[in-house]
């Protein structure tokens, strides 16, 4: 008789980031001069680029933060490409994919949370399916399927993620709007309306992958 050996990989996904830390990291993704540390996390200067910031902690848990739209014509054209279904053909996506792949190789997919605001959420969804969590704030959204590891946070009057109201999942966080100003409701600052100690991410789950040795 021949014995068939299998390797069993167990990945544990869990709640991962405080609201206060999430806000700082999202803002750092837009910064020209990013902070070297955010709470217990250190900037990975080797992997980080203007479009994507990577932070890690002492346990080798990493956050990959995809920046939203910057006020350049090229970046706005990326939004147009998304609207017509060509986002994966853009330089922006190519850069995001390169950093994401390097971070997953360096820290392990199970140790990475993929985060994005606005346009950055597109890259987070497209690239973070195998990571521990995909966390998006006021995401650009055109009806894509909700990922198993995805958590959406949005203002109830955010214009960019408005279509998400027709595709809610059980773990979405809807922040009641305080204004009718689309810029205010789309901003990262809406996170200040949540408890700063609230922890974002899915609850603990196990994922099994069996592979013949």
- CATH number for the region 14-212 comes to 3.40.50
pLDDT one-digit tens code per residue, 81-135: 999 999 999 999 999 999 999 999 999 999 999 999 999 999 999 999 999 999 9
Question: Which long-range CB contacts under 8 A does 48-52 form with residues at least 24 apart?
Answer: 48/99, 49/95, 49/99, 51/92, 51/95, 51/96, 51/99, 52/95, 52/96, 52/99, 52/100, 52/123
| Domain ranges across the chain | 14-212
pLDDT one-digit tens code per residue, 145-163: 889 899 999 999 999 999 8
Averaged pLDDT for residues 13-40: 91
Q: What pLDDT, on a 0 to 100 scale, did the predictor assign at position 7?
A: 47
Cα separation of 38 and 178, whole Å?
28
CB 51 within 8 A of CB 96: yes
pTM of the model: 0.86
pLDDT one-digit tens code per residue, 38-64: 999 999 999 999 999 999 999 999 999
* 119-127 and 73-83 helices, crossing angle to 10°: 60
């Amino acid at each position: 008789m021949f014995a068939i050996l299998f390797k069993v990989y167990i990945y544990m996904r869990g709640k991962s980031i405080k609201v206060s830390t999430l806000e700082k990291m999202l803002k750092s993704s837009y910064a020209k001069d990013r902070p070297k540390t955010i709470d217990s996390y250190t900037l990975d200067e080797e992997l980080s680029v203007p479009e994507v910031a990577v932070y890690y902690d002492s346990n080798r848990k990493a956050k990959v933060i995809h920046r939203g739209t910057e006020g350049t014509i090229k970046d706005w054209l990326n939004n147009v490409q998304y609207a017509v279904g060509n986002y994966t053909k853009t330089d922006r996506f190519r850069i995001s994919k390169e950093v994401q792949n390097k971070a997953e190789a360096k820290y392990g997919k199970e140790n990475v949370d993929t985060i994005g605001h606005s346009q950055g959420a597109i890259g987070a969804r497209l690239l973070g399916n195998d990571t521990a969590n995909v966390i998006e704030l006021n995401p650009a959204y055109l009806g894509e399927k909700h990922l198993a590891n995805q958590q959406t946070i949005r203002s109830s009057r955010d214009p960019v993620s408005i279509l998400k109201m027709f595709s809610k999942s059980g773990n979405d966080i809807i922040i009641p709007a305080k204004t009718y100003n689309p810029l205010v409701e789309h901003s990262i600052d809406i996170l200040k309306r949540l408890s700063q100690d609230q922890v974002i991410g899915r609850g603990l789950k196990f994922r099994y992958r069996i592979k013949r040795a």
